[in-house]
Amino acid sequence: MLRTISSRISRRFYTTSRYETYHGGAIKTYYNPTLTGLSPSENEFREAVWEFSARVVKPKVDEIERGGSYSALMELHKEIAGMGLHGLTVPAKNLGLELGYTHHLLAMEALSYSSASLALSYGAHSNLCVNQLSRWGSEAQKSEWLPGLLDGRYLGALAMSESGAGSDVLGCMKTVAKKVDGGYLLNGNKFWITNGPKADVFIVYAKDVVEHGAKQTYTTFLVPRTTPGFTTGKPLDKFGMRGSPTCELIFTDVFLPPSSILGDSQHHGAKVLMSGLDLERLVLSGGPLGIMQAAYDTALEYVHQREQFGVRVGTIGSMQAKIADMYTKLNTARAFVYSVARAVDHHTQEAAPGYPVFQRRDCAAAILYATDKAIEVALECMQCLGGNGYINEYPAARYLADARLYAVGAGTQEVRRWLIGREVNSDFE
């Protein structure tokens, strides 16, 4: 039985101190809860996950970043399962906590504060895989896979992008599913797949073989790692998120029975894909928020410990201006992202099963804005630390490298701007 978050929470009121401490005071954060608009129960949830992040995740950051066998990441995957965090948006009847995307976002932010690499792997598992399976899977598929995905026995992933199909993922997709006797043959490659080297099950998008001149359709499949003909490439050497396992997937005449189809039926893959992208953008917005808070906290502590010209660096006018800008960017980004999450939760409760009714422009805007601000705050953190910001003994460079992932992952900033502009312009059609 999964332990619920509530069992880890001690009741308390909003903190009114200038900072919060976790893990016996070992972690100090200047997170400002008075501006978030969270309810008391949401704030209690947030504090519980932040405490877990500080106590369990933070001490293993160096081990996570070394990657290699990803043993620390896999151990923490099971610890996160013990908190019930993998099933935040999964209905109770399927062993989930049946909460909302606000809670999912809060968990992503708290984990990103300690380790953005671990949080990215968590987001790929809990949102891209588990949430899609929960929303679109058959009862048989959910019964087979959800228990293990929620309790930490299995790690999940989603396979959408390809080396030649990034921003134009549908138009340039080459991975193909051909209908044969008794099922389908899947052939092709997927690239930049988070959790690829370690995942046990994959949600895979493929284009269908159609007659010449017919409209191109797509199908979503659930593919276990042990399926014959399926292999993975070596882990990719990345600029940032170095502790998050990423690789190429290779499908060579992979036979899949009709029961492997995720969604209403064959040819509905585009609908499944597009509905997941909006929620992916929203939940992953917690990544930039967590990185931004860590960068702000690191800079603030440093400039009030270091002295130059006989005074604390943080009291110098130019440094005060940097801190003011960082504080403003962090809190405006968080307020916006949280408001979008609450709107999505509200509309999802009112919507019919399947595709929730909300404006995708807002999910795109949330991750667009949070990512831009996270990169800016990470750069300022490096500058606040001076020479120490440029050496890897301090975490400032890691904050920047990790924040940069969100400018290209889950869609590029350029595509997000195009999507928002298109959606706004549609109001005048």
Helix, strand, or coil (residue 262)? strand
How many beta carbons lie within 10 A of that of residue 210, not counting itself? 11
Q: Which two tokens stand for residue 296?
A: 């702000």
- Tell me whether the CATH fold assigned to 13-155 matches the one assigned to 159-270: no
- Classify 110 in phi/psi space as left (phi over 0), alpha (psi -120 to 50) or beta: alpha
Average pLDDT for residues 59-86, to the nearest whole number?
93
Q: Where are the domains of the chain?
A: 13-155, 159-270, 276-424
Q: CA-CA distances (angstroms) from residue 317 to 199, 311, 343, 420?
A: 50, 11, 39, 38
Q: Yes or no: say if 57 and 68 are a contact pair by the CB < 8 Å rule.
A: no
Q: Which residues are registered as beta bridge partners of 256?
A: 184
**Res 379 pLDDT > 70:** yes
pLDDT in tens, 392-411: 999 999 999 999 999 999 89
Q: For residue 330, which amino acid is it?
A: L
Give dist(CA 252, CA 228) in Å, integer.
9
Active site (catalytic) residues: 280
| pLDDT attached to residue 19 | 86
The overall longest dimension of the chain from CA atoms, in Å, is 80
How many beta carbons lie within 10 A of that of residue 218, not counting itself? 23
Give dist(CA 302, CA 305) in Å, integer.
5
Mean pLDDT score across all residues of the chain: 91
Q: CA-CA distances (angstroms) from residue 128 to 74, 121, 179, 204, 281?
A: 18, 10, 26, 11, 10
Q: What is the CATH T-level fold of the domain 13-155, as seen in this structure?
A: Butyryl-Coa Dehydrogenase, subunit A; domain 1 (1.10.540)
Q: Which two tokens stand for residue 308?
A: 């130059």
Q: CA-CA distances (angstroms) from residue 319 to 293, 301, 398?
A: 18, 13, 21
pLDDT in tens, 196-224: 999 999 999 999 998 888 899 999 999 99
Written out in words, the top-level CATH class of the domain with range 276-424 is: mainly alpha
**Res 266 pLDDT > 80:** no
> pTM for this structure?
0.93
Written out in words, the top-level CATH class of the domain with range 159-270 is: mainly beta
